[in-house]
Amino acid sequence: MIAALSGTLTEKLPHRLTLSVQGVGYEVIVPLSTFYQLPDTGSSLTLQIHTHVREDAIQLFGFVTRSEKDCFLLLLGVNGVGPKVALGLLSGLSVADLAGAIHRGDQARLSGVPGIGPKTAARLVLELKEKVLAFIDENGHDETATGDEQVQRDVVSALTNLGYQRQSAREAVRRIWRESPANVQAFTVEGLLRESLKVLSK
């Protein structure tokens, strides 16, 4: 069973990448939360891996952080939730936001993730309401947000997963949002993350 892989990132696309390990290229399926944090191709990369064995295939699911992997495994334990649904949840919400929505019973927000219907949302709340507390950070980062605020919060979440202090990450994101031109609203999560990393590395 493969639990982790370290190698060279040779290809990255939303939802999947190729990691070259000692001459062998492994295709790894990833959520968008991991994709946003990937380095440039040609860079070294270590991923936490879940090996999913089916009758007709063996699939590798990869995550930059341990919390993403642990949350993914927790979701798989819910009746009717498979890898595709779990991946969709982690692509639509950060770990902290997903945990917060489940804990407070916000089925509307869960149902807002593509592929998640009311029945699945209700089941997530019923089975995981208390189990997700470990994924809610010390600042109670579980309130709702939309549009530009959600982009900023997704970037802050990505930065903290990379090891930066949450307060420093928030200040960097707010600084870019405040000082950048009017078209800052056009920033994607990946673009804002890149600019935030530049600020934090100075």
Query: Taking the domains of the chain in order of start, what are their residue ranges?
Result: 4-63, 66-135, 147-200
pLDDT band (50, 70, 90) for residue 42? very high
Pick the CATH number of 66-135 from 1.10.150.20, 3.30.420.40, 3.40.50.300, 3.30.2020.30: 1.10.150.20
What pLDDT, on a 0 to 100 scale, did the predictor assign at position 186?
A: 60
Check: CATH 2.40.160.20 for 4-63?
Answer: no
Q: Give the mean model confidence (pLDDT) for residues 28-33.
A: 92
How would residue 75 be classed by pLDDT, with cut points 50, 70 and 90? very high
Average pLDDT value for the chain: 84
- Separation between Cα atoms, residue 53 and residue 78, nearest integer Å: 17
Find the helix or strand (DSSP H, E) in which 36 lies. none
147-200: which CATH architecture? Orthogonal Bundle (1.10)
Q: Which two tokens stand for residue 202?
A: 């100075």
Q: Mean per-residue pLDDT for 98-107?
A: 91
Q: Rounded CA gap, 198 and 131, in Å?
A: 36
- pLDDT tens profile 120-166: 999 999 999 888 887 775 444 443 333 566 677 778 778 877 778 87
Sequential DSSP letters for 71-133? HHHHHHTSTT--HHHHHHHHHHS-HHHHHHHHHTT-HHHHHTSTT--HHHHHHHHHHHTTGGG
In this prediction, residue 77 carries a pLDDT of: 92
Average pLDDT over residues 59-65: 94
